[in-house]
Amino acid sequence: MAQAAAPGYVTVSTASFTPGSTCDGPDPVSLMRKDTSAVLRLTHRHGPCAPSRTSSLEAPSVADMLRADQRRAEYILRRVSGSSGQQQQVGGSKAAAAAAVPANWGYNIGTLNYVVTVSLGTPGVTQTLEMDTGSDLSWVQCKPCAAASCYNQKDPLFDATQSSTYAAVPCGGAACAGLGFYGAGCGTGATAAQCGYVISYGDGSNTTGVYSSDTLTLTPEDAVADFFFGCGHAQSGLFTGIDGLLGLGRRDLSLVEQTVAAYGGVFSYCLPTTPATTGYLTLGRPGGAPPSGFSTTQLLSTPNAPSFYIVMLTGISVGGQQLNVPKSVFAAGTVVDSGTVITRLPPTAYAALRTAFRSAMASYGYPTAPPTGILDTCYNFTGYGSATLPTVALTFSGDLTVTLGADGILSFGCLAFAPTGGDGGMSILGNVQQRSFEVRIDASSVGFKPNSC
């Protein structure tokens, strides 16, 4: 629980730095109107609110999670700079409606990312999918999938032969051609007429299989007929525990674009502040009403990375004081990414933030701790019942200022920011800094609404 301290500071209980072991707090999904939206529960991948079938899986170490996060960040930065490298992608109707799905912190499945539960096929088969705003093509693991070719998951593999609405996309058709660089040509033997797909991710993970369509059920009231996805028959990497991925990127293959007729190309999500609480993912505009309580900034684009949601960061303040960082340092833009954990800043901006933060913390005498992976400004709060932190605020174009909560400042006891490779390059707004905000994205803007979950 945070409380006011001196202006520009916030005091929080140090107990909030330790993840709880039980799922606490009200379910935000049950409180939301769902008549014109689909609302899904969003949970942390490794927390007690994650689906019970995933909670028994061992969480990765902090070092492993940060290493994977660094690989993802480096991959995104290569993509937006125009360097080579492939990235994940893929593209019912209800008039301008909306759908909301619960979102949970993905900590219990293997990464510090977030998962939703949907069903696929007819009859529907439950699938736990990691949501990713930096990906387009959605996919699940499918039978047949030999042990050496697939990773361990708690749910049964999706069996396309048991779904009356499943169809493999034919090789050579328009849908197959629409895969672009995700296309893997035609199969061989019994699958020679089927369209293949392949995705390679920034952390070295990959999936390949048959490009397919089937009914995707988001909530009991919201189903997407003929949803295009990858039916994966060979996967490797860091996926363990999840059944697949739900792509929310900007290209035609994503869930957002495939359901534009139903939900208007609008979606929002609220990432829970801890693994012991839940958030939500909403497709469409709840209640059909204009959004209220959001402050927005312009959505930009780059030809090098058409999947990403990019905004313009213009400044940072610490303890209410604006840092002296030229706007040109941020000129390349900032990717808003649900799949990156730690926010990345150009070196000049990060150095200014670190110096100001360390100076403010020094006045309280907290002992420092050794660096944790990429995080170099860490503290030992053992024996402290509460801690006082300087506020950190990010300013974006359009005079939007996002003041972070304490849970968006520290992670693992460390300042939850890291430097990129050089000034003038792209920044990344990670999911730590997005927690508790409802982040709303439409065709032209990104909005932030504080204290939403």
Q: List active site positions.
A: 132, 337
CB of 285 within 8 A of CB of 100? no
- Tell me the DSSP string of 263-277: HTT-EEEE--SSTTS
> SS3 string of 172-235?
CCHHHHCCHHHEEEECCHHHCCEEEEEEECCCCCEEEEEEEEEEEEEECCEEEEEEEEEEEEEE
Residue 236, H or E segment: strand 222-236
β-bridge partners, 280: 270
CB of 110 within 8 A of CB of 239? yes
CB of 248 within 8 A of CB of 259? no
Q: Which amino acid, residue 11?
A: T
Q: Which residue has the tokens 């003041």?
A: 403
Q: Residue 410, SS3?
A: strand
* 392-396/368-369 β-pairing: unpaired
Rounded Cα distance between 250 and 231, Å, is 21
> What residue ranges in 323-422 does DSSP mark as E strands?
334-336, 343-345, 368-369, 378-379, 386-390, 392-396, 400-403, 410-411, 414-415, 417-419
